[in-house]
Amino acid sequence: AQSVSQHNHHVILSEAASLELGCNYSYGGTVNLFWYVQYPGQHLQLLLKYFSGDPLVKGIKGFEAEFIKSKFSFNLRKPSVQWSDTAEYFCASSGGADGLTFGKGTHLIIQP
């Protein structure tokens, strides 16, 4: 069975700080990896995804993630965060048709 772990459950940063959210997955086969964002009171929106190819993936709103197969990691990064990035961030993996496996989420608060 797949599992996804996110290292930080709560992160507080100041505006313009750099962000890195950790994500590790466990699955021996081909895996597709995602980062979703959930703004307060809203549904999940896809930030970026990795299926194959270039391990550095660029997503929306200046986010990027790097797939490191040897470390089973898919960390999310952003060089300079904004107050509007306050949200919950979920890492997820998918090995097939039976849905996504989510991490427990990281609640990110950006202080002005």
Partner 1 sequence: NAGVTQTPKFRILKIGQSMTLQCTQDMNHNYMYWYRQDPGMGLKLIYYSVGAGITDKGEVPNGYNVSRSTTEDFPLRLELAAPSQTSVYFCASSHSTEAFFGQGTRLTVV
Integer Cα distance of 74 and 18 in angstroms = 17
Q: Please, are residues 50 and 65 in contact by the beta-carbon 8 Å criterion?
A: yes
Cβ at position 104, least distance to partner 1 in Å = 4
Residue that the structure tokens 């949200």 belong to: 87
Cβ at position 101, least distance to partner 1 in Å = 8
Rounded (10°) CA dihedral 56, 14, 89, 63: -30
Sign of CA dihedral 76, 27, 51, 43: negative
Single out the residue of 17, 22, 44, 77 in contact with partner 1 (rule: CB under 8 A): 44
Which residues in 8-37 contact partner 1 (CB under 8 A)?
9, 32, 34, 36
Does residue 70 touch partner 1 according to CB under 8 A?
A: no
Which residues in 88-107 contact partner 1 (CB under 8 A)?
90, 94, 97-105
The contact set with partner 1 (CB under 8 A) reads 9, 32, 34, 36, 42-46, 49, 51, 90, 94, 97-105
